[in-house]
Structure 1
Amino acid sequence: MNIAVLGTGAVGQALAGRLSGLGHTVAVGTRDPEATLARTELDGMGNPPFAAWLGDHAAVRLTTFAEAAAEAELVVLSGSGSAALDMLTAAGAQHLAGKPVLDISNPLDFSAGFPPSLFVKDTDSLAERIQAAFPEARIVKSLNTLTAQLMVEPDLLGGPTTVFVSGDDADAKATVTDLLTSFGHQDVIDLGGIETARGTEMFLPLWLRTMGALGTGLFNIKVVR
């Protein structure tokens, strides 16, 4: 499958690397490819510059948001929540129309420091705002309750845990679920329409506090029933 991963951070790198390893044709989208490749400093999380990662993933191509989305059969939004709408606007509504868009972003507001608050919650969600802004795209919220490494390597926890999908389009959710299964996720719960993304986005304050208590992001929910 031709897949566009929008975003060059840790989440984008994890998804792009795993998807490429599974045999997909992967293009990573960024606003300015030349500027992205020119960076030599560590990112805000202490990760090496993207050019170093790209050098180890020769099959992955770096291009603009619009070019990546135009060629894709599926688009992965892996940027920060505050940049999500701008990234998709740069990708172009015409390049998203009719396509599944896997939204991994979270509405985190760091304006008052850490831990962040949510800039949308309760009666709305970032996923709903994205769907409203791009009504012809088929938005599916998933993987936003996991750290990047566990998104693509769930077996690191030594047993099956639970991930969720939210979206209005059944076929798009099926496509995303197949992708999750290929990563190794065994328990995928379909929560329903895109409005159910409020629940997984609002899990983030608890996730962040749990990470602080454990000193690691390598944990997940397991729904026992």
Structure 2
Amino acid sequence: MKYGILGTGDVAHAIATKLTELGHEVMMGARNATNEKAANWAKTNGERASHGTFADAARFGERVFNCVQGIHSLEALNAAGKENLNGKLLIDLANPYICKDGHISLDSRWSGTTSLGEEAQKILPDAKVVKTLNYLCNHLMVHPKQLPEAITGFYCGNDADAKAEVAVLLKDFGWEDTLDLGNISMSRYTEMLGAFWVAALSATGNMDWGIKLVR
């Protein structure tokens, strides 16, 4: 499978590296084709790794991950191009964080009665947006078994087949417990969990934890 990764930060690196380890071809996309982080990642991850612009990565991928920082996420999706994302599974990991006076909160434009996930689906009506993995640290996204107990991998989206694909991919990442929360409007709540993760990190100083739905 060919994957496009939008973004060059820690989350993008974790997802892209895991996908290459699983045998997939991966292109990391940035605002410009000469992005140093993307170029260095491609250089150190073998022949299945490459890099380019957001549009290049979206065009390349049969599936696409949005790993761009939330406040820049919609800009990146527009740069990727509707024509390159139409009909494709877009796995959205972005959170609408804003940082002010040392505090991180959710941007009011995309919280409460809407979400960044919903906005992504709105601007890309022909893409199949699925929100997942936005509520824990990047290394646990792809190595959840580093924790002593199984944690729950939540996901949501409007397309049932796309969600089924994400559920399989989460299993490939090592997730033993996953849960379909419903349509893309449920990303309001996974994005709130993303904000809760920041609060808990601040309180504990520890990134190595996850959420388990006991049922």
Deviations 1:74-95 (A, max 9, x none): 0000011111111111111011
What percentage of aligned pairs have identical amino acids?
A: 40
1:190 pairs with one of 180, 186, 197: 180
Worse overlay, 1-10 or 198-207? 198-207
| Alignment-mate amino acid for residue 29 of structure 2 | G
Question: Is residue 152–residue 179 contact of structure 2 (8 Å, CA) maintained in 1?
Answer: yes
Question: Is residue 43–residue 49 contact of structure 2 (8 Å, CA) maintained in 1?
Answer: no
Question: Is residue 32–residue 53 contact of structure 2 (8 Å, CA) maintained in 1?
Answer: yes
Deviations 1:11-66 (A, max 9, x none): 000000000000011011111121x12xxxxxxxxxxx555444321231011111
CA–CA separation in structure 2 for the residues paired with 1:175 and 1:208: 28
CA–CA separation in structure 1 for the residues paired with 2:29 and 2:194: 26
Are positions 1:165 and 2:165 aligned together? Answer: no
- SS of equivalent to 1:5: strand
CA–CA separation in structure 1 for the residues paired with 2:151 and 2:101: 31
CA–CA separation in structure 1 for the residues paired with 2:67 and 2:127: 16
1:77 pairs with one of 52, 56, 66: 66
Question: Is residue 139–residue 167 contact of structure 1 (8 Å, CA) maintained in 2?
Answer: yes
The aligned residue for residue 18 of structure 1 is 18
CA–CA separation in structure 1 for the residues paired with 2:103 and 2:176: 31
| Alignment-mate amino acid for residue 116 of structure 1 | I
| Alignment-mate amino acid for residue 172 of structure 1 | A
The aligned residue for residue 132 of structure 1 is 122
The aligned residue for residue 7 of structure 1 is 7
The aligned residue for residue 219 of structure 1 is 209
CA–CA separation in structure 1 for the residues paired with 2:52 and 2:156: 29
Give me the CA root mean square deviation: 1.2
The aligned residue for residue 132 of structure 2 is 142
The aligned residue for residue 96 of structure 2 is 107
- SS of equivalent to 2:181: strand
Equivalenced residue count is 212
The aligned residue for residue 106 of structure 2 is 118
Are positions 1:201 and 2:191 aligned together? Answer: yes
Deviations 1:155-207 (A, max 9, x none): 11122101111100001111111111100001111000000110110123321
- SS of equivalent to 1:33: coil
| Alignment-mate amino acid for residue 89 of structure 2 | P
Structure 2: where are the runs of 5+ without partners? Answer: none
CA–CA separation in structure 1 for the residues paired with 2:27 and 2:38: 14
| Alignment-mate amino acid for residue 170 of structure 2 | L
- TM-score (norm: length of structure 1): 0.91
| Alignment-mate amino acid for residue 5 of structure 1 | I
- TM-score (norm: length of structure 2): 0.95
CA–CA separation in structure 2 for the residues paired with 1:99 and 1:50: 23
CA–CA separation in structure 2 for the residues paired with 1:30 and 1:91: 9
Structure 1: where are the runs of 5+ without partners? Answer: 38-48
